[in-house]
């Protein structure tokens, strides 16, 4: 397999220099984001504002999560200008009306546009939604567009049939569940692979291999798993509602894993799904 990875770069000034990856079309996406899947609606405002105060500049939600309103309130509570925060939301493909669904999400978020709009999962006929996603991108309502939970066959078909290809595919990705071949296929297609459940929902953090790498690095197991992904140029969206965990997950850009560390972690792949996003 090729180990060539998209090279992280300092993001546009709008993200205060957060390490980021460039998407097709020129949009920059911060490598670290806050995921709010399963964060209760009444908790979301606090969690988002806390993360933005900690330095995060990327928040990931979805219409299916039921907490878009809290995301919007958290962004406003942070005092940051809209352009300083990268916001992702997702459409349920069974709804069938991308423009109507995005307009409803924007109303809940209190925003005029999202930075990334995704088809949440591949449903029968969901590829037919893509021309509408392309129009949303052309209109500026979605600065970037993509998909989630697409396997490489789904993804290749959509790339081949599109005028504006998907820029991101958000899938489960961590050392227990990853495929070098799938990662290479995303890169050849020019699609950024984004990792949800990058901490495997907290299971397996006590694995001896992960613990040993963390001890060598003087870091926590969670920081090691996040670093394993971002060191490959893969954006991650760990979820937490605890202030200390949000702060801990932020501290992943001031160290590097050695080639030996990476190889040990690579070997944990079990191809067993541990979470959904």
Whether 65 is a known active-site residue: answer yes
- Rounded distance, CA 135 to CA 113, Å? 13
How far apart are alpha carbons 84 and 162 in whole angstroms? 30
> Residue 30's closest CA among 39, 17, 45?
17
Catalytic residue among 65, 150, 176, 196: 65
Residues with Cβ within 8 Å of 138's Cβ and at least 6 positions away in sequence, in order, are: 164
CA distances from 18 to 8, 33, 75 (A): 10, 10, 17
Check if the beta carbon of residue 213 is closer than 8 Å to that of residue 257: yes
> What is d(CA 196, CA 33) in angstroms, rounded to the nearest whole number?
10
Q: Would you please indicate which residues are annotated as catalytic (active-site) residues?
A: 65
């Amino acid at each position: 397999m090729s180990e060539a990875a998209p090279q992280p770069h300092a993001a546009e000034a709008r993200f205060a220099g957060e390490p980021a990856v460039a998407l097709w079309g020129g949009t920059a996406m911060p490598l670290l984001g806050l995921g709010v899947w399963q964060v209760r609606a009444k908790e979301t405002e606090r969690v988002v504002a806390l993360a933005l105060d900690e330095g995060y500049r990327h928040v990931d939600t979805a219409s299916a999560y039921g907490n878009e309103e809290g995301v919007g309130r958290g962004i406003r509570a942070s005092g940051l200008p809209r352009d300083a925060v990268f916001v992702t939301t997702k459409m349920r493909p069974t709804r069938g009306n991308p423009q109507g669904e995005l307009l409803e999400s924007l109303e809940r978020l209190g925003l005029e546009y999202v930075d990334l709009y995704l088809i949440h999962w591949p449903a029968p006929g969901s590829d037919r939604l893509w021309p509408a996603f392309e129009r949303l991108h052309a209109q500026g309502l979605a600065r970037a567009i993509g998909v989630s939970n697409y396997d490489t066959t789904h993804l290749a078909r959509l790339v081949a049939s599109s005028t504006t290809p998907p820029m991101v595919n958000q899938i489960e990705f961590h050392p227990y569940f990853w495929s070098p071949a799938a990662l290479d296929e995303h890169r050849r297609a020019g699609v950024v692979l984004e990792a949800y459940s990058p901490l495997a929902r907290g299971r397996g953090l006590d694995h001896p291999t992960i613990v040993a790498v963390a001890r060598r690095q003087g870091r926590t197991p969670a920081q090691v798993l996040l670093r394993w992904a971002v060191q490959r140029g893969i954006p991650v969206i760990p979820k937490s509602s605890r202030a200390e965990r949000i702060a801990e997950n932020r501290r992943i850009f001031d160290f590097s894993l050695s080639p030996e560390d990476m190889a040990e972690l690579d070997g944990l792949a079990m191809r067993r799904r541990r979470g959904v996003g």
